[in-house]
Amino acid sequence: MKFGKEFKKQKVPEWIEAYVDYNGLKRVLQELREFKQSKGPSTPAKTSQQKSLLLRPFSGLDVRKSFDETKEDDIENQVIAVETVHKDDNREEYSTNFLMPPQEGGQSEITFFERLDEELNKVNTFYRDKVEEVIEEAASLNKQMNALIALRIKVERPDSSNSRSHRNVSKDSSSTESPEVNSPSRIDPLENRHTDSNAKVNGTNNHEQDPLDILDRVRMNNTLEDPMSTIRSVLNDSKDKDLRFKKAELEEAEGRLKVVFVEFYRKLHLLKHFSYVNLLAFSKILKKYEKVAERKAARSYMKTVDDSYIGSCDEVNHLLDRVEGTFIKYFANSNRREGMKLLRPKRKREQHRVTFFSGFFSGCSIALLIAIILLIQARKLMSKEEHTMYMENVFPLYSLYAYIILHVLMYAANIYFWRRCRINYPFIFGFKQGTELSHYDVFLISTGLAVLTLGTFLVHVHMKVDYIESVYTKYVELVPLGLLISILALFFCPFNILYKSSRFFLIRTLFRCICAPLYKVQLADFFFADQLCSQIQAIRCLEFYICYYGLALYQKEQKCHTLDLYNVFYIIVAVIPYWLRFLQCVRRFFEENDWMQLLNGSRYFLTIIAVVVRTAFELKMDTTWKVLALVCSIAAICFNLYWDIVMDWGLLQRNSKHRFLRDKLSVSRRSVYFVVMVLDVILRLAWLQLVLKFNIRALKGTAISSLFSCLEIFRRGVWMFFRLENEHLNNVGKYRAFKSVPLPFSYYEEDDDKDD
């Protein structure tokens, strides 16, 4: 594989703009090659070099002599001179003077070194800024560790309340090498220098003060990540809480700091890799320059690159060693293997059996679907009166899974295209590294669910038709309920099978959506709530399950739609997803003080009104309700269309270099964006069919609403891709490649000093 393609794969997606523009420099060299070719044929470089080497006297095997000759040769054939300019903020910038006359080398060589200087300065600036950030984070983590170790001492040794007793404990513990009882004032886990100044910052004195005094200036951060913390913050009007020195409090702090250390370690590794691949890119492009220009300049310029900040800074390597040692000692009980397993989670490997079973289940699904169609046609189930009502009742019981399967298939397709466009979906959604599902895994889930559903439906209908007079008929009616219970049991299964981490991530996200105002809203939360807004028909199918089996209507010749209570909840369940999104927007408005969130919430509130009025029209079929439903639906559709295209997708921007789009695009073909914008308009307007009631002869009854529900799921799948693409590009613009993990402790005295 060529280096350009490998270099593109190695880039951190959110830092793409900070890397060396390798392809841009190659284009400059291509112009140089064309300039060389336009001058006419010349003596091949290899032939001239071979002749000059043959005419030179033998240098022997003296290493010092050959080194001196090489040095003299470099001085005589010097092509460039790199100057270092020192700025006021102690930073360096580099400027290269091209020593050859322009008519000999052409303007392309001058342009090449100007671009090379720009790239070196850009990479150095970015790398220095990131290194300074991690140094500050290391200092903050150092203070957090001091507070954690002091809290450990207080919880595990409640009697160590004075310096003398604590020194005795520390002395005893040093002989037994127990990390839990080391003095926090003497420990700088992430800094191996400036211990005196660090002690001063922490407000401790190794000889005079009790190291547990640090707990007097520390509180637990209230991250507002659970209902109780949110309610407590509202009642007490405080985000922090005093330490109670309980074991549960210690476990919470340790758990948070573990996550912080893992994320910090990952950041250090990416910074180290950033330095490595950029240095390699400079080396490769300079070798290409020597090959094209037939000049020797790589050694002198690479010496400048190696002496620059990105080539000479060792802070990241030192911090990596310190973080490994600290994490292994304090969070893995000095077990290096376990500690490194937590710090470096293995990437998930693609498994051949996933691909095999995906194909196998796909074939089985197609075969079962054909068998169902043939059974319905052969037995003429849709034409017999005794089976018509039964099929109308059975259809919602199984269409629930059709909506879910279609949505999962759209998610699998999105993962495939996200990977193709290098959109970092695991980071954006907050998946734990190594647990994210590939498109093969998601496709396997959808096909497996399809086989289970279609197989059950085929057996159910066959038994119902052939044994209609049997005494087992009422038990046959329980087959759909058994399928639902089985799928729910698999979904909530606590054992480590069937993608447990992904299932529990989905369960937690669903729970956070249900408790929307009591949880801090993350991207995965409102993203999942938006998906629920496209699954209203599936939620209504769950309501039908409750009605059908809860009231035992399968033993009666009665429909759920004839019940008033069912019709009331038929409206309520359609409102629930939009209401959850409205509450999430309100929560974000109060937290972030962003008026756009209030505007977004009003959009969902308008959609709630439209859904209620439209559902009331479906039930009553009155002219007044029809007019109201038409007006409310058009208003909601226009508002949602604007928000989809402009706010969620970031398209139709003014003064964009891509007309009617945006500056940054992940999809190379711009026509795709115009197609999806038109498609979004068409699929949004399709919902007016439920109000206008166009006569579609081929569709009857619930088939029309089911068709448009499937179209809405398809529209949401398309929306999903471009919504995440826009989020990814926003992260790229701000270089956000890591989760912001809240720290467990806050030093409130220092905050008061800053305020003063």
492 shares a domain with 359: yes
Burial class (CB in 10 A: 0-12, 13-18, 19+), 405: buried
- pLDDT above 90 as % of the chain: 36
Q: Which of 540, 334, 168, 501 is nearest to 509 (CA)?
A: 501
Mark which of 479, 498, 517 sits at the end of a domain: 498
Burial class (CB in 10 A: 0-12, 13-18, 19+), 207: exposed
470 shares a domain with 370: yes
Residue 747 phi, psi (nearest 5):
-95, 95
**For residues 482-494, b (16+ Cβ closer than 10 Å) or e, as one string?**
ebbeebeeeeeee
> Is residue 145 in a domain?
yes
- pLDDT above 70 as % of the chain: 76
List CB contacts of 479: < 8 A, sequence separation 6 or more: 456, 459, 460, 463
286 shares a domain with 234: yes
Q: Output DSSP code: residue 746.
A: E
pLDDT of residue 76 exceeding 50: no
Q: Which neighbouring-strand residues pair with 96? A: 82
Give the mean pLDDT of 152-167: 63
Q: Which neighbouring-strand residues pair with 85? A: 93
In one-letter notation, the amino acid at residue 535 is Q
Tell me how many degrees the CA angle 342-348-349 measures, rounded to the nearest 5.
Answer: 140
Give the mean pLDDT of 408-437: 90
Strand order in the sheet with 745-747: 240-242, 218-221, 745-747
**For residues 303-331, b (16+ Cβ closer than 10 Å) or e, as one string?**
ebbeebbbbebebbebbbebbbebbbbbb
Q: Which of 400, 316, 377 is nearest to 135 (CA)?
A: 316
Per-residue pLDDT tens digits for 695-723: 555 455 577 778 889 999 999 999 999 99
pLDDT of residue 466 exceeding 60: yes
What is the spatial distance between Cα 84 and Cα 308, in angstroms, rounded to a whole number? 10
pLDDT of residue 751 exceeding 90: no
Q: Which neighbouring-strand residues pair with 84? A: 94
Per-residue pLDDT tens digits for 326-384: 999 988 888 888 888 888 876 667 678 899 999 999 999 999 999 988 888 887 776 66
265 shares a domain with 133: yes
Q: Output DSSP code: residue 741.
A: P
Question: CB–CB of 683/690 below 8 Å?
Answer: no
Give the mean pLDDT of 145-163: 77
> Is residue 513 in a domain?
no
pLDDT (0 to 100) of residue 445: 95
Q: Output DSSP code: residue 95.
A: E
> Is residue 228 in a domain?
yes
**Helix, strand, or coil here: 86?**
strand
Burial class (CB in 10 A: 0-12, 13-18, 19+), 535: buried
What is the spatial distance between Cα 657 and Cα 77, in angstroms, rounded to a whole number? 44
Q: Output DSSP code: residue 301.
A: H
- The larger pLDDT score, comparing residue 650 to residue 108, is at 650
- The larger pLDDT score, comparing residue 240 to residue 154, is at 154
Question: CB–CB of 458/371 below 8 Å?
Answer: yes
The pTM for the full model equals: 0.82
387 shares a domain with 282: no
Query: Residue 46's pLDDT band (boundaries 50, 70, 90)?
Result: very low
Mark which of 345, 373, 392 sits at the end of a domain: 345
What is the spatial distance between Cα 558 and Cα 551, in angstroms, rounded to a whole number? 10
271 shares a domain with 398: no
List CB contacts of 543: < 8 A, sequence separation 6 or more: 566, 569, 570, 573
Mean residue pLDDT of the chain comes to: 80
Residue 438 phi, psi (nearest 5):
-85, 170
Question: CB–CB of 641/680 below 8 Å?
Answer: yes
pLDDT (0 to 100) of residue 84: 83
- The larger pLDDT score, comparing residue 735 to residue 465, is at 465
What is the spatial distance between Cα 670 and Cα 676, in angstroms, rounded to a whole number? 11
- Tracing tokens 């299932």 back to the chain, one arrives at 503
pLDDT (0 to 100) of residue 173: 38
pLDDT (0 to 100) of residue 206: 44
pLDDT (0 to 100) of residue 104: 58
Provide the 10 A C-beta neighbour count for residue 619. Answer: 14
Q: Say how many Å lie between the first and final Cα of the chain, rounded.
A: 59
246 shares a domain with 390: no
- Determine the angle formed by the axes of helices 107-156 and 247-293, rounding to 10 degrees: 170
Give the mean pLDDT of 399-427: 93
**Helix, strand, or coil here: 663?**
coil
> Positive or negative CA dihedral for 57, 58, 62, 67?
positive
- The larger pLDDT score, comparing residue 119 to residue 58, is at 119
Mark which of 345, 363, 396 sits at the end of a domain: 345
The number of domains in the chain is 2
111 shares a domain with 2: yes
> Is residue 694 in a domain?
no
> Is residue 645 in a domain?
no
Q: What is the DSSP string of 35-47?
A: HHHHT-----HHH
361 shares a domain with 332: no
Q: Which of 673, 631, 630 is nearest to 651 (CA)?
A: 673
Give the mean pLDDT of 164-193: 42
- The whole domain housing 243 covers 1-36+77-157+210-345
> Is residue 226 in a domain?
yes
Give the mean pLDDT of 434-440: 89
Per-residue pLDDT tens digits for 209-244: 566 777 778 877 776 566 666 666 666 655 566 777
- The larger pLDDT score, comparing residue 433 to residue 511, is at 511
221 shares a domain with 86: yes
What is the spatial distance between Cα 109 and Cα 99, in angstroms, rounded to a whole number? 11
Question: CB–CB of 424/728 below 8 Å?
Answer: yes
> Is residue 522 in a domain?
no
Query: Residue 59's pLDDT band (boundaries 50, 70, 90)?
Result: low
Kindly report which listed range (159-163, 292-296, 431-435, 463-467) carries the lowest average pLDDT score: 159-163
pLDDT of residue 200 exceeding 60: no
pLDDT (0 to 100) of residue 432: 82
289 shares a domain with 148: yes
**Helix, strand, or coil here: 745?**
strand
> Is residue 512 in a domain?
no
pLDDT (0 to 100) of residue 169: 40
- The larger pLDDT score, comparing residue 584 to residue 342, is at 584
Q: Which of 631, 590, 22 is nearest to 287 (CA)?
A: 22
361 shares a domain with 309: no
What is the spatial distance between Cα 161 and Cα 153, in angstroms, rounded to a whole number? 9
